Amino acid sequence: MKILADENIPLASEAFSSLGGVQTFSGRTVQAAQVRDADVLLVRSVTRVNAALLEGSQVRFVGSATIGFDHVDRAYLRERQMGFASAPGCNAISAAEYILSVLLVLAQQQGFDLKEKTVGIVGCGNVGSRVLGMLKALGVPCLVNDPPRAEREGAAGFVSLETLLQAADIVTLHVPLEKSGAHPTLHLADAAFFAALKNDGIFINSSRGDVMEQAALADKLSRHAHFSAVLDVWEKEPAIDLSLLSQVLLGTPHIAGYSFDGKLRGTEMLYRAVCAYFQQTPNWSAQPYLPPPLVTELHFSHSADDVAVVRQAVWSAYDVRADDARLRVCPSSKSPAQHFDGLRKNYPLRREFAALQLHLPPGREALATPLQALGFRVQCKK
């Protein structure tokens, strides 16, 4: 069996070699001729999987090491009776940690207390629900808009998008890209959306670039000096709008979910899906391949206040400002698109909060609970 895997899926060769021969490819430039004799195709979000890529091939199974699958023509796969699996939730923890790092940076830069702001979460699935849990643990007021969930579960706990936009000080998007159906999200954040947002509010998008209209966001930013935005995703990636990058407070190259933990979780999820499809017994695990984080533990003193402890813990695990700085400095030898893709391909090691051990002094037991809810391992000294 021949397995063709995106070169940015970590440990693909190690995971899948027991099932067949593994070859890697560039997800952005893969051609139909490369795919023709493969039995299994493993991609990430940059590869459009459709008839143009697969027609005439012998591919029997397609896997995407991503939460979303708007880049995959699933109707075509069903028509051709090809198996399919994605990796829902594989990087949800990492994406939620990205949002928390962002919010702590903005709170420090703009001099506000997060507990005094209302955060509007649009889309409360794998990522949004984790963001909600983290913010509740820190005592931050939240509003949630998720029409599909509200229809399934009842209206309690959810608000309309109109209510959320009018009341929230900070709005963060965590929706899939849906171009049709009962709840389309293509250009959900349009001119009317931004007009409804507070003129001193904050907008964050780490879901999909096409969920927003960038021109409408740029107009809002240019008209209102106290309105802020943070973008991890962009229209027309990797050829992002550099003028918009100059307007946003923080800009990153679609890496919110790029923890090494999340990537390996996605690899293992696909491996198990392929094993199930071809009726093979799985015998590979990602756990032994997780390296130690750059910072393994932190010790806090009595003098550190709660906010300072949370900030230091979060930023020691992941500081979004480093990714923002890297995106803004494009070498003269590369185009902006090459720079964007290069940052994703050569992303530095990033472990999730759970890899970091925190040591609190006696008498700070009350702080242990929210820190553990954020995902950290916490020990209170006696």
Q: d(Cα 174, Cα 181) in Å, to the nearest integer?
A: 18
Is 237 a residue of the active site?
Answer: yes
Give 267's pLDDT tier (boundaries 50, 70, 90).
Answer: very high
List, in order of start, the domains of the chain with CATH numbers. Answer: 2-90+259-289 (3.40.50.720), 92-251 (3.40.50.720), 297-380 (3.30.1370.170)
Of the residues 71, 130, 174, 254, only one is catalytic, namely 254
Burial of 296 (0-12, 13-18, 19+ CB in 10 A): exposed
Place of tokens 């407070």: 249
* Per-residue pLDDT tens digits for 134-151: 999 999 999 999 999 999
Is 311 a residue of the active site?
Answer: no
Task: State residue 67's pLDDT score.
Answer: 81
What would the mean pLDDT of 211-238 be, rounded to a whole number? 98
- In whole angstroms, how far apart are CA 270 and each of 12, 83, 163? 10, 12, 39
Q: d(Cα 69, Cα 307) in Å, to the nearest integer?
A: 37
Sorted by sequence, the CB contacts under 8 Å of residue 91 that are 6+ apart come out as 66, 67, 256, 257, 258, 259, 262, 263, 265, 266
Of the residues 97, 213, 235, 237, only one is catalytic, namely 237
Is 187 a residue of the active site?
Answer: no
Q: Are strands 142-145 and 21-25 parallel, antiparallel or unpaired?
A: unpaired
Of the residues 130, 208, 344, 351, only one is catalytic, namely 208
* Per-residue pLDDT tens digits for 287-318: 999 999 999 999 999 888 999 999 999 999 99
Confidence check: pLDDT of 24 > 80: yes
pTM of the model: 0.93
Answer for the pair 174, 124: CB distance below 8 angstroms, yes or no. Answer: yes
Name the amino acid, one letter, at 360.
Answer: L
